[in-house]
Each structure stands twice: as structure tokens, then as C-alpha cells.
Homo-oligomer: A and B are copies of this chain.
């Protein structure tokens, strides 16, 4: 509908005139802003903004936008990322044995909900290979043991580079990544099957059942070296009762997991998320 667009995600120390300066940059070059959203965290003294504009009629050629904007941004001590809607990100989905999040993401990608391609599926087990085949996606079975973890991570990293992957989605990948891996490939979204920070770690549904909570949840977050401690992107919840067994929690939780993960991936792909202080600003 909007043709090709460019999007700037900017964060910088708060000061007067930021909205004007950034908007002027677009306007002065003939651009039409179709989305602009700003947030000021007064306690952190930080200004964060997302600006998306149509490239049609914009006088700067795409390759000149970054250097031109740098002239404005650097004096403001700003950090920024520039995205073009025509550059389609490439996703690798990592799974173990459960198929619900994987299928959900593949369906949504086919339905046009996720502006990305999915050329690669990695699993530490082989059960979901047939799904990969059915969708015509390369599947790599990389088993993990405590002893082989680091060398297998090296293989995984090589695959990500070989396939030109921009984003890893851990769609119920039941392995912990090493701090080293996360540092080398920081664009990772994970789905955790609880309402974090409640029930971080293993077996959250079993523990939710034992604690007798009346609501369960799921959390999508960027992966960090500390398990389940990364910046939260999206959460949702579902009411339960004493009638629900652990199996019921797992079943109901699957619906939460796939919706929450899909929302988070979509927000990321639309460049709507800025991270600071281990939190996210979501310009939804």
C-alpha cells in the first residue's frame, strides 16, 4: 500500500528539538512520513523514536541515507539503525520436538503475515524434518550433548552465516545457548512458556500447576546470556482453574506460545522494537 519505505530506529540523550530535527531530515529531502512514534524515558534521560517514510519521491538515493543522517545524528550522540522494506530478512527457526510454534510461523509466513523468508530450520532432534521437507526448507539436524555443545554451536554459527540469516527464532528449542554464541549472533528471539519472571527455567507448567496459579502465560524475549532474563517483547495470558491438569496447561499454553511468538517476530520484522536497559520499547 505504501510502496517501498525506509525506517529509522533512533535512540539518543534527550534534548530539545529532536522531533523537529529528525522530521526535518525526512522533509527536507522530500520524504513523506507514514509512521512516526516517539518515547521519552525521563528517568533515563533517553529519547527513542521510530520514523518510517516512503522512498518514492525521496531525493536521497538509498545508499546515501545513512551517511547523510550520520551528519545529524552524531552531534546528538545518537545510535540508530536504518532498514529498507525491500530488504527481506532471512530467518532460521530452531526447534526441538514440538511442532506447534514452527508450523504456526510457517503458516503465517505463507499467509503474508511475516515479511521475511525462512530458508533454514535447525533442530537438535530429527522429528520435525518432514515438516521442513513439506515446506521445502533446508533442515539441519545438529544433536547437542554437554560435551559437544561448543563445537556444535560453531556448526550452527557457520550455517547461519552460510544462509545469510538475520534473525534466529527459538521456537521451543529446548537447549540453552552459550554466552559466547549469543554474543556472536545477538538477533535471537525466544519463546518461554511462562509469564516471566514467574517460572523461569525448566518445567514451568508443572511448577505453575503445583503453585496453584489461576492464570498462565507465555513470554517472547530477546535471548541473552542469562537464561530467560533478556528484554521482554510480548506476553500474554490465559485463565485456568483447578480443573486443569498439567496436560491442560501444556495444551492451553501452546496456543499462547504460538500467538505470543508470532507477534514478537512480526514486531521485530517490522522494525518496531528498540532495546535499552534490558527493556523494549515497542512502537506498535
> Contact residues of A with B, CB < 8 Å?
1-2, 16-21, 23-24, 26-28, 30-43, 99-100, 103, 107, 111, 113, 134, 195-199, 210-215, 217, 231-237, 239, 241-243, 245, 251, 255, 259, 277-282, 284
Contacts and interface: CB of A to CB of B under 8 A. Distances in A.
Nearest to A240: B235
Contacts of A107: 99-100, 103
A212 B280 contact: yes
A23 B202 CA distance: 42
A252 to B, nearest CB: 10
A181 to B, nearest CB: 23
Q: How many copies does the complex hold?
A: 4
Contacts of A24: 20, 23-24
Contacts of A281: 242
9 contacts: A2-B42, A19-B23, A24-B24, A34-B40, A39-B243, A211-B232, A211-B278, A213-B232, A214-B232
Given A16-B31, A19-B23, A236 B215 contact: yes
Contact of A20 (B23, B277, B282): B23
Contacts of A21: 27
Contacts of A33: 16, 18-19, 38
Contacts of A215: 195, 217, 235-237
